[in-house]
Structure 1
Amino acid sequence: MEKLQIGNISVSWLDGGVTHLDGGAMFGVVPKALWTKKYHANENNLIELRTDPLLVQKGNLNILIETGIGKGKLTEKQRRNYGVSQESRLRESLQEKGLVYEDIHFIIMTHLHFDHASGLTAEENGMINSVFPNAKIVASDIEWNEMKNPNIRSRNTYWENNWSGIENQMVTFQESFEVTEGITVHHTGGHSDGHCVVVLEDSGESALHMADLMPTHAHWNPLWVLAFDDYPMTSIEQKQKWLSFAAERNSWFTFYHDAYYRAVKFGEKGHVAEYVERIR
């Protein structure tokens, strides 16, 4: 299990499942001849995208960033459309760390699209129940409101069975939220109207989790945004802002979707200068 240390904050990657999506959709208007130099596509133009939650630990706190695609949540058609080759092994990954679902204190949701939120709940005896009964679940209020009231575009990714059963655990905010000292969540918009990023800072070190503003290391260029983004110009503006923030601090970038790197430090023009490689 790969690990990154940010001062006294430890970050480990769990197994939340694997999808394969159209590379053109993931890189928007960027020509295939350019993005395939940075990220592999198969013969069907599909790229591998992990959905692996980050376990963040500081002191006695156990915090998840995202929750994977769940297990048994997707229909056969959905598994085919989203190129799912493996569903979540989140329980098993936590057990490898000596933890169970009940040990999680906070869950940070950068946004609530199905590929991030499906691990929040599970159906049992016809009831939708929270998987993490003791956790406070953090999301922006904009995201939470759209989750419960999706529009004609977003209803395909905001599912009722991913929020029903967790309402009493939600902690929402407008601009920023401090989970604990050195772990903060910041609203950005862009990919979705309520999208957020996560900052980890301790002992002069830092990491930035850009979520779907930078789903893989190949998305470093501020102009390389997803066709899935609801507000692409906001994505570009926020990427520029947070890239500058990270450059000033020599920050690590951590990833939820990247199939090759768990974390990287970028050099000039997006060159990968340091990295934590995913064990394949």
Structure 2
Amino acid sequence: MDQWKVGTKTLTWLDGGVTHMDGGAMFGVVPKPLWEKKYPVNEKNQIELRTEPILVQGFDGKNILIESGIGAGKLTDKQRRNYGVTEESQIEKSLAKEGLTTADINIVLMTHMHFDHACGLSRWEDGKLIPVFENAIIYTSETEWNELKNPNIRSQNTYWNENWEPIQHQVKTFKEEIEILNGVRMVHTGGHSDGHSLVELTLEDGEKVYHIGDIMPTHAHHNPLWVLAYDDYPMTSIFQKQKWIQPNTWYFFYHDCIYRAVKWDENGAITERIPRSPKM
């Protein structure tokens, strides 16, 4: 597993599975000759998107998880084919390498509740869906939670009852922003979904590092105009990228198959990077 020590904090990427989604959908109106220079694509026009939750440690002694992975045993054969799923989650094995179990996770931060982020929140046991992180408080925005329970004709394809009903007693919501712990903040952004949020971590020296979820799912989406066809509110995504993507600031990723974290300069050139290991 990849680990990034930044100050006294540790970020560890867990084995949450992998999908392969259509490149055109992931880059919206951007022509393929442009985006394929920045991110690899296969013969089916799919790009590899990891679904690897980030274990964050060093804040008030809590074990914090950002996102939950694709889950295991939650998808049908048709869904695995359509979403290009070649690996499912092995969260328990990943946590065991860190001397932890799922019961040791105190907090789960969900930028949003689309299936590729939320399937890992529940699992099947004796024919019944139960929480994976049974002792955790799960945070997501109030807007996201409300739409999740009452999806529209578009969002019903990604908000699934089996991902929220088993864990609803663990969920805490917020409106615009919330300080989870000292140095851990979530901010509602909208854009990718109406309830989408980002995660901000503040280090000892005041430096901030960001996970802005699917507003910038990979380093190749750095350009504010490169937004997803999956975005429900693309103009909001553009505005939020302009607001939150700043030079000389670290950004880390859940989906990126090349980098764990990246820092850009004022001209948009990568100045520092944490590469993803070829094999977890």
Alignment of structure 1 residues 159-198 onto 2, 5 Å: 159-198=160-199
Aligned amino acid, residue 177 of structure 1: I
Equivalent-residue separation in structure 2 for 1:263 and 1:38 (angstroms)? 16
CA–CA distance in 1 between the matches of 2:159 and 2:43?
30
Give the Cα–Cα distance (whole angstroms) in 2 for the partners of residues 147 and 119 of structure 1.
Answer: 16
Aligned counterpart, 1:35: 35
2:277 is matched by which residue type in structure 1? I
Q: Does 1:253 align with 2:255?
A: no
Instruction: Report the counterpart of residue 4 of structure 2 in structure 1.
Output: 4
Code of the aligned partner of 2:49:
L
- Amino acid aligned to 2:47: I
Partner SS for 2:201? strand
Aligned to 2:54: 54
Judge conservation of contact 1:141–1:172 (CA < 8 Å) in 2.
Answer: yes
Partner amino acid, structure 2, of 1:52: E
More deviation, 262-271/252-261:
262-271
Partners of 1:65 and 1:109 within 8 A in 2 = yes
Letter of the 2:271 partner, please give it. Answer: A
Q: Distance in 2 between matches of 1:142 and 1:126?
A: 31
**Which residue pairs with 1:271 in the alignment?**
269
Deviation at 1:85, TM superposition (A): 0.6
- Report the CA distance between 1:89 and its aligned residue: 1.1
* Pairwise CA distance, 1:29: 0.3
* Counterpart secondary structure, 2:78: helix
TM-score, length basis structure 1: 0.96
Q: Displacement, 1:7? A: 2.5
The code of the aligned residue for 1:261 comes to Y
Q: What is the CA–CA distance in structure 2 between the aligned matches of 1:99 and 1:269, rounded to whole Å?
A: 41
CA contact (8 A) 1:66 1:110 kept: yes
Q: How far does the alpha carbon of each residue in 1:241-274 deviate from its partner, in whole angstroms, 9 at most, with x for none?
A: 0014xx3xx3210000000000011124322211
> Contact 1:111 / 1:143 at 8 angstroms: preserved in 2?
yes
Look up the match of 2:146: 145
Cα-to-partner distance string for 1:192-230 (whole Å, 9 max, x where unaligned): 000000001112222110110000000000000000000
The one-letter amino acid of 2:86's match is S
1:177 is displaced (CA, Å) by 1.1
Q: Secondary structure in 1 aligned to 2:63?
A: strand
CA shift at 1:4, angstroms? 2.0
Whole-Å Cα distance in 2 between the matches of residues 145 and 123 of structure 1?
24
Amino acid at match of 2:265: G
Which residue of 209, 213, 216 maps to 1:214? Answer: 216
Which shifted more, 254-263 or 1-10? 1-10
Alignment-derived partner of residue 241 in structure 1: 243
Whole-angstrom CA distance in 1 between matches of 2:267 and 2:143 = 33
What letter is aligned with 1:29?
V
Question: Distance in 2 between the 1:182 and 1:7 partners?
Answer: 13
Deviation of 1:167 (Å): 1.1
Q: Deviation per CA, 1:52-101: give whole Å up to 9, x if none.
A: 00000124200000000000000000000000010111111111111000
TM-score, length-scaled by structure 2: 0.96
Q: Is there any run of 5+ residues in structure 1 with no aligned partner, and where?
A: none
Counterpart amino acid of residue 156 in structure 2: R
Provide the C-alpha distance between the structure 1 equivalents of 2:224 and 2:68, rounded to a whole number of angstroms.
26
Greater mean alpha carbon deviation, residues 197-206 or residues 132-141: 197-206
**Contact 1:6-1:207 at 8 Å conserved across structures:** no
How far the C-alpha of 1:179 sits from its partner, in A, is 1.3
Describe the SS at the equivalent of 1:166: helix
Q: What secondary structure is seen at the aligned counterpart in 2 of 1:119?
A: helix
Unpaired runs of 5+ residues, structure 2, are none
Identical positions, percent: 59
1 CA distance for matches of 2:47 and 2:177?
33
Equivalent residue, structure 2, for 1:67: 68
Q: Determine if the alignment matches structure 1 residue 127 to structure 2 residue 124.
A: no
Please give the alpha-carbon distance, in whole angstroms, between the structure 2 residues aligned to 1:121 and 1:177.
Answer: 24
RMSD: 1.0
Query: Do the aligned residues in 2 keep the contact of 1:6 with 1:200 (CA within 8 Å)?
Result: no
